Structure 1
C-alpha cells in the first residue's frame, strides 16, 4: 500500500480531519449520500433471505426494518465508538456482507430463522473475544484463502439471482419470458448508468436500476402496494421478534467461519480508510474495530437481523467527496436508525418485483466473484501449492452447489457443511493453506491483510 494519502494534502485542514464536526446543513446531505450508496446492498439481503425462506411480505418488511435499524447502530459503534472500549473511529459504514447470505439460507431452510439468529449471536461473541488475538489468527486467512472463498460466494449466489430473474423459485409464472425481459432490462439500465455516468450517480447505479425496473414492472402489473398500505408508520424494533434464539453447533461453526472472513475484509477496509484520511490505525485501534464488528453481529442476532461488517462500497465516496470526518458516517448511522423505525418505508422495498431484484443482484453477485478473483491475482501462481489450494477450494465449494445430492447419505453435520459452498471452500482453503504454507504463516512477521484493488489507489 502506498504511503501517500489518497486525498490531496491541500484538503487537510482543521475543519476536515477525522474528528471535525461539520454544520448539520452539510453533514446531513453527506450522510444521506452514504446511505443511498449502500441502500441497495443493504435491503437486498433481507429480500433475498426472506424470499428463499418463504416469508410473507409482512415478515420481510420487518426484516428490512430491523436490518436498517441495526445497520445504523452498528455504524455508530464503529464510526463514533464507545470510549476506549470499541470502534475504529473512522468514517466507515456497516451492513450485512453477501458472504453471509448463502450460509444463512442453508441454516434457515434446515432449522429456521431462530437458529440463524442463535448462530449469529454466538459467532459475534466469539469474534469479539478473539479481537485481542486476531493479529495472529489473521495470518491463516491469507489472500489465497479469502480470494478462493469470496470467488465461490459470488459464483454460488448466481443461482439465487437467476431464480429471482425467472420470477422467484416456486412462483406460478416462473420462467415467463416477461420476467426474463424485465430482469434483462434492469441489468441493462445498471450497465448503461455505469458506462455513461461518473461520481455519485455511478456509485448508486444499482439503486437507480431497482427504481426504474420497479416503475417498468408496475406497468406490467408486477408491483403490489398492499404491503405498503398495511404497514404502520412507526414500529419499535423488538428483540427476538421471531422467537428465542436456537443454538446448534453446526450453525455456530458455519457463522463463526463467516465472521472471521468478514473481519479480514474489514481490516483491509480499515487500513485503506486510514490511508485516505491520513490517520493510519494502530494495532490497538484495529483490535477495537474487530471488537465492534463482533458486537455488531451480536446485536444483529438480537434484533432479528444479520451479521454486520464494514462495507467497502462506501469507501469510494470518501475519495469523491474529499470529506474525511467520521461524523458524516455517524450522521448516516442516525439516518439508518430512523428509517428502520418506519415500517412503511421499509415496505417499499418489498414492492420490487423478483425479476428486477434478480437483474440487479446478478451484477452485485458477479462483482463479489470478481472481487475474489482480484484478490487471487495477488497470489503467487508460480507456486503449485497455491494453485492446488485454489483449485481444491473452488471445486469442492462449487461441487456442493452443482451436485447437492452427492452428500445425501452423510451425517447431517457433514452434509450441511459440504452442501454449503462457501463454508466448504473456506474450510478446504484454510486446512490446505496451513498444510502447505505453515512455515510462512507462523514464522513470518509480515502482516497479511488483503486490500481490494479499488481501495489501494
Structure 2
C-alpha cells in the first residue's frame, strides 16, 4: 500500500496530472530527512519520558532503563509508520507522530505499586496493554462515530485545550534542574529565551526550505549556546552502545491480571478520545478534515501499535499533539515527512548511540521551542472557535466551562486526591484533554440539541414564527 501511494503520487506528477494534496506530496530526500529530523526533535522528549518515569518507579538499573527507552523509541517508530503509511484500513495517512502516551504513566505506576514483587510489574503491564490494544482495535469502527459530536464549537474548544495543556510541559522543560513548581533556574530561563528568540527571528528573516526548518535550526543553535554554559550532558553519548535490539519479552512473558487489564482498557479509551481530538485538530491544520473513515483508520493504527508494542517491551501509543504545532508553523503537511520521522525512531531504537545524540539537547532549549509549538496549537483552536459562533445562544458558556474543567488537572495534579474519586475515573479526570472534551460534548448536546427543537417549536407557535430553529450548536 505504501509503495502504491508513492508510485501514484510520482506518476501523477510525471504525467502532468493534478497536483496531489499536500498531505500526499512526496518531498525531495533532503527536505524529507530534515523535516523528519525536526519532528524527531519535537517529540523525542515525549516518547522517552514515560519509560524514564516508570523505570525509576520500578527500580530498574540504568541499563534496564536505557533498554526500556530504546524499546519506546522503536515501538513509537512502528506506530508512526502504521499511522502515516498504513495498510488496508489501518492508518489515518496523515502527518501524525505516534508515541508512548503520558496519560498511561499514572495507571501503570498504580499497577506497578500493586505488585508484591516489582519484577512482575512490567510483565503485568505488558499483558494488560496487549489486551487493551486488541479491545481498542475492535472498538475503532464504532468509536469513530463520535465525530458527529464534534462540531466546530466542540472541536475548537478541544484543540485550544490541547495547546493549553501542552504549554506546562514546555514550562517544565525550562524548569529542568529546578524545584518542581518553583522558579526556573537562571541558566534554563536564558537558554529558553535565547532559543525562542532565535526561532522567531529565523521564521521572520528566512525564506523557503530554511524557513520551514526554523525550529530545528533553533534547537541546534540553542544547544550550541548551552555548551559553554555547561548545560549539555554528553555522558549518555560516551556510554551508549552503537547497536542494540529490543529483544521480545526482555522483561519476561506477559502476565494477565484482571485489575490491571481493566485499568489499561480505561486508559485505552482515554487515548482513543485524545487521538480523535488530535485527528480533528490536524485535519483543520492540513486542510483535509478528518471524517469517520479517517478517524477509524487512525484509531486502528493507534490500537494495533499498542497491541504490538508489548512484544518489543513498549507501552500504549497515541497521537502526539505537539507535532500538530510543528505542522502548523512549518506548513509542511506531507505525511511522508512524518513517516521519515517514524523510520528515524526505529533506527534510534536500534542504536542507543544515535538516540543519545538527540538526548543531548538540553530541556530548557526544548522548552523555548515548545512555547511556539504548543502555543500555535492553542491559537489554531481559537481560530476554529471564532468561526463557531460564540455569540450565538449558550456557545460561549459551553466553551468556557469545558476549558475550565479541562484545565483543572493542568493547574493541580492533586486536585481530586481528597475527593475519594475511583481510580478508573481518575484516569479520565487526570487527562485535561479527555475531561474537557467530554464536558464540551455533553454541554453542547444539553444546550444546543436535547429538547431544543421542541422548545423552539413551542416558542415559534406562540409567536406565530415559522422560521426554523438554529440547532447547529457550534
Q: Same fold (TM over 0.5)?
A: yes
Specify the SS of the correspondent of 1:227: helix
Matches within 5 A, 1:257-406: 257-266=270-279, 269=282, 287-300=296-309, 302-303=311-312, 304-309=314-319, 312=324, 333-406=342-415
For the structure 1 residues 45 and 283, does the alpha-carbon distance in structure 2 shift closer, same or farther, using more than 3 Å as the test?
Answer: closer
TM-score between both structures, scaled by the size of structure 1 = 0.73
**Does residue 86 in structure 1 map to residue 90 in structure 2?**
yes
Shift of residue 234, structure 1, vs aligned partner: 0.9
Match of 1:194 among 167, 186, 203: 203
Q: Distance in 2 between matches of 1:380 and 1:54?
A: 47
**For the Cα contact (< 8 Å) 2:325–2:377, is it kept in 1?**
no
Specify the SS of the correspondent of 2:232: coil
**For the Cα contact (< 8 Å) 1:147–1:372, is it kept in 2?**
yes
**For the Cα contact (< 8 Å) 1:235–1:343, is it kept in 2?**
yes
Partner of 2:191: 182
Specify the SS of the correspondent of 1:219: coil
**For the Cα contact (< 8 Å) 1:163–1:358, is it kept in 2?**
yes
Q: Distance in 2 between matches of 1:357 and 1:286?
A: 30
Shift of residue 428, structure 1, vs aligned partner: 1.7
Matches within 5 A, 1:429-440: 429-438=440-449
Match of 2:437 among 418, 426, 429: 426
Partner of 1:203: 212
Shift of residue 345, structure 1, vs aligned partner: 0.7
Specify the SS of the correspondent of 2:319: strand
The farther-off stretch of 248-257 and 344-353 is: 248-257
TM-score between both structures, scaled by the size of structure 2 = 0.71
Partner of 2:459: none
Q: Distance in 1 between matches of 2:54 and 2:427?
A: 16
Cα shift readout 1:127-149 (whole Å, capped 9, x = no counterpart) = 43233335532112333333323
Shift of residue 225, structure 1, vs aligned partner: 1.4
For the structure 1 residues 46 and 182, does the alpha-carbon distance in structure 2 shift closer, same or farther, using more than 3 Å as the test?
Answer: same
Partner of 1:233: 242
**For the Cα contact (< 8 Å) 1:193–1:202, is it kept in 2?**
yes
**For the Cα contact (< 8 Å) 2:409–2:429, is it kept in 1?**
yes
**For the Cα contact (< 8 Å) 1:46–1:63, is it kept in 2?**
no
Match of 1:252 among 265, 272, 276: 265
Give me the CA root mean square deviation: 4.3
Q: Distance in 2 between matches of 1:189 and 1:33?
A: 18
**For the Cα contact (< 8 Å) 1:298–1:307, is it kept in 2?**
no
For the structure 1 residues 198 and 441, does the alpha-carbon distance in structure 2 shift closer, same or farther, using more than 3 Å as the test?
Answer: farther
Q: Distance in 2 between matches of 1:406 and 1:309?
A: 26
Q: Which has the higher contact order (CA 8 A, sep 6+)?
A: 1
Cα shift readout 1:199-252 (whole Å, capped 9, x = no counterpart) = 332333232222222222221122221211111111112345567477354553
The farther-off stretch of 124-133 and 180-189 is: 124-133
Match of 1:76 among 73, 81, 86: 81
Partner of 1:38: 39
**For the Cα contact (< 8 Å) 1:434–1:441, is it kept in 2?**
no
Match of 1:161 among 170, 180, 186: 170
Cα shift readout 1:127-174 (whole Å, capped 9, x = no counterpart) = 432333355321123333333233233323333322321234548x97
Partner of 1:96: 99
Corresponding pairs, count: 417
Partner of 2:71: 66
For the structure 1 residues 149 and 185, does the alpha-carbon distance in structure 2 shift closer, same or farther, using more than 3 Å as the test?
Answer: same
Specify the SS of the correspondent of 1:221: coil
Shift of residue 305, structure 1, vs aligned partner: 4.7
Cα shift readout 1:378-428 (whole Å, capped 9, x = no counterpart) = 322133332222111111222333345443222242455434423321222
Q: Which blocks of at least 5 consecutive residues in structure 1 are unaligned?
A: 1-9, 443-447, 451-457
Shift of residue 300, structure 1, vs aligned partner: 4.3
The farther-off stretch of 344-353 and 257-266 is: 257-266
**For the Cα contact (< 8 Å) 1:57–1:350, is it kept in 2?**
no
**For the Cα contact (< 8 Å) 2:39–2:341, is it kept in 1?**
no
Cα shift readout 1:84-123 (whole Å, capped 9, x = no counterpart) = 35345x57453339xx54x244445555595876776555
For the structure 1 residues 331 and 170, does the alpha-carbon distance in structure 2 shift closer, same or farther, using more than 3 Å as the test?
Answer: closer
Q: Distance in 2 between matches of 1:385 and 1:122?
A: 41
Partner of 1:223: 232
Shift of residue 71, structure 1, vs aligned partner: 3.9
Shift of residue 319, structure 1, vs aligned partner: 7.2
For the structure 1 residues 164 and 381, does the alpha-carbon distance in structure 2 shift closer, same or farther, using more than 3 Å as the test?
Answer: same
Q: Distance in 1 between matches of 2:412 and 2:278?
A: 29
Q: Distance in 2 between matches of 1:314 and 1:217?
A: 23
